[in-house]
Structure 1
Amino acid sequence: MEGLTDSGRQRLTTSIVAGTIVVLSVALRFWCKLKLKGGVHAEDWWILAAVPIYLGAVADDIWGLLNGISGENLDDIIVALLQNPPPELVLAFETYLKSLYIGYVLYIFLVTTIRFSILLLYRRIFSTPRFRLQTLIMMGVSLAWFITSIVFAFTYCIPLEKFWRPLAPGRCLNFNLFYFVIGILETAIDLIILVLPVRATFAVQLPLRTKFFVSGIFLLGIFVIATDVLRIYKIYRPGQIYIEFTESIFWTHIHSLVAVLCANLPIYKPLRAKVVNFFSSIQKSFGSSLRSLRGDTRQRIGDSADGPEASFDLKTMPSDSPMGTHKRPEGSLEESRYPILDNRGGTYTSMADRSDASMDTLIIPSRGIVRTTKVDVF
């Protein structure tokens, strides 16, 4: 990347990152389908076909940047060629322009596969005759857009090589104007496709919350429209013959990436459920641990504050101690005696019947009177 300009490095980074995200998003889609036994359908194969096309566009962009030139527009290239540059630079110019041409053709195929994937998904979800007819019409419109764009791509310059050899004899159309018109039509088609299922969703007998949720998923495709509008705004140059090629490649990557993600997004519902369940289980586990910790803390505080061992030096008395006797009730588990010194120097004897786990019996011989009371045991 040493010989690249800042715009060239930006394009290279964008191509690699976008290509990686596209591959991962489609792989995740198929994982959801196969792992959760959702079945693989026609729309999945169409979006899978978009992966090699996108990777081809990424490879083409890298090839044009590393073996051609970085980030120049066609007007600047023509000016440089008129100055009789060395043959190496001429070859670099041609390589760069070839990569732009190949990238444009691949983009036409990529957008078409994404549209067909989305429309086929619509047809599988909504089976009403009217909606299926609408999707079929949009598939026809998308196909017409594809054919028109391909014909233009191969007839833009006559001969075709004049695109990457601008000083060669021949003629070329106004690429800037045609690209603008094609971009407007593309945006209109995408908008219709993305809004198409909203009406059908509200016509189905579903809870209102579910309708808004499903419509929201489809309307997230509005980001596709936004990136397309930004792309047209950035690359169109009024009154010029050629578009802003550097901005065109960058925004085309962004637009294509968002389109692939939006096509995959409705398929991620099972994955979202798993993620929600995962975080819910973590939250429950954390809450259970916190409650257990609080319970242990309260128990330790109770032992230290109210337990008889905390306030007195307790020693087990022999069973034949003359301080008193205690007849153990039937069914009790064990009998214990603890001498307790009172503040006046007298000796109190605690007789603990452990059959009562919550209370101790204190037999207190003091001044010839035997008194019995109860205290809590933790």
Structure 2
Amino acid sequence: MLLAGNAGQGRHQWNVSVAGVERVALLANILEILYPPAMFCAKFTILLQIQRIFASHQKNLIYWSIQALIGANFITYFATFVAFIFACWPREKIWNPHIPGRCISTNASIIVTSAINIISDVTILLLPLIGIKKLHLPAKKKIMVGAVFATGAFACISSIIRLVYSIQLTNTKDVTWAISPVGMWA
């Protein structure tokens, strides 16, 4: 993101050189390709931790919910990863629009991924609540344990804000300006 900022990301496109716009497009595509595996690994780790805490010796609702979420996240992020890798053919067309070739619109991928992130984040936030409810602890301690897991609400809020900025990004010609908050909230 720092390299993209130096190239012109976060500035209005009319204040950025053509070379800067091309560099932002290249770096944005690299970040788009790195985002799905990074997000999958982060969510996979969190889900395994929840499984270890609440379903380590039993195959209950939490266990099967975690398995379903891991599978759904893998499919979603793998499809997004492939879509961004093959966004243009030849790949150089991503940052150099004057080269002959063709590109798919990645707008749908960006918005769908943002929406799925919200669903996934909310589900991951709610899963521990089921386990906490079944703990043999006084209500006050359950609330305290729940508060620790509730810090995950920030991920949900970030996903919602990212979706709003992603929609704005798909509706503007000033990409160098509009892409910055999408990356910040990712």
Say if 1:150 and 1:70 are closer, same or farther in 2 by CA, change over 3 A: closer
**How far did 1:176 drift?**
2.4
Aligned runs of 1:1-378 on 2, under 5 Å? Answer: 61-66=1-6, 68-72=7-11, 76=13, 89-127=17-55, 128-130=58-60, 131-237=62-168, 240=171, 244-255=175-186
User: What CA distance in whole angstroms lies between the structure 1 residues aligned with 2:34 and 2:169?
Assistant: 25
Give a deviation string over 1:155-177, Cα, whole Å, max 9, x none.
22222221111222222222223
Aligned CA distance change for structure 1 residues 245 and 117 (closer, same or farther; 3 Å): farther
Q: Unaligned 5+ residue runs, structure 2?
A: none
Once the two structures are superposed, residues 199-242 of structure 1 have per-residue CA deviations (whole angstroms, 9 ceiling, x without a partner) of 12102222211211222221221121111111211231387487
CA distance in structure 1 between the partners assigned to 2:181 and 2:170 by the alignment = 22
Q: Greater CA radius of gyration, 1 or 2?
A: 1
Distance 1:240 1:254, change over 3 A: closer
Cα 1:208/1:185, change in 2 over 3 Å:
same
Counterpart CA distance in 2 for 1:242 and 1:194 is 35
Cα distance change, pair 178–187 in 1 and its aligned pair in 2 (3 A) = same
Whether the aligned pair in 2 keeps the contact of 1:235 and 1:245 (CA below 8 Å) is: no
Distance 1:251 1:96, change over 3 A: closer
Report the identity percentage. Answer: 22
Q: Greater helix percent: which structure?
A: 2
Deviation at 1:90, TM superposition (A): 4.0
RMSD: 2.5
Letter in 2 for 1:203: K
Are the counterparts in 2 of residues 237 and 243 from structure 1 also a CA contact under 8 Å?
A: no
> What is the one-letter code of the residue matched to 1:170?
G
Q: Distance in 1 between matches of 2:34 and 2:93?
A: 19
| Structure 2 contact 8–24 (Cα < 8 Å) conserved | yes
Measured in 2, the distance between the counterparts of 1:150 and 1:70 equals: 22
For normalisation by structure 2, the TM-score amounts to: 0.84
Whether contact under 8 Å (2:33, 2:85) holds in the other structure is no
Q: Is the CA contact (8 Å cut-off) linking 1:174 and 1:242 kept in structure 2?
A: no
Q: Which amino acid aligns with 1:167?
A: H
Q: Distance in 2 between matches of 1:182 and 1:210?
A: 36
Amino acid at match of 1:220: T
Q: Is the 8 A contact 2:51 2:63 kept in 1?
A: yes
Query: Larger RCO: Structure 1 or Structure 2 (Cα < 8 Å, ≥ 6 residues apart)?
Result: 2
Change (3 A) 1:225 1:245: farther
239 and 209 in structure 1: CA distance in 2 versus 1, 3 angstrom threshold = closer
TM-score by length of 1: 0.44
Does the C-alpha gap of structure 1 residues 176 and 205 become closer, same or farther in structure 2, counting only changes over 3 Å?
Answer: same
Deviations 1:240-298 (A, max 9, x none): 4878553433343344xxxxxxxxxxxxxxxxxxxxxxxxxxxxxxxxxxxxxxxxxxx
Counterpart amino acid of residue 110 in structure 1? A
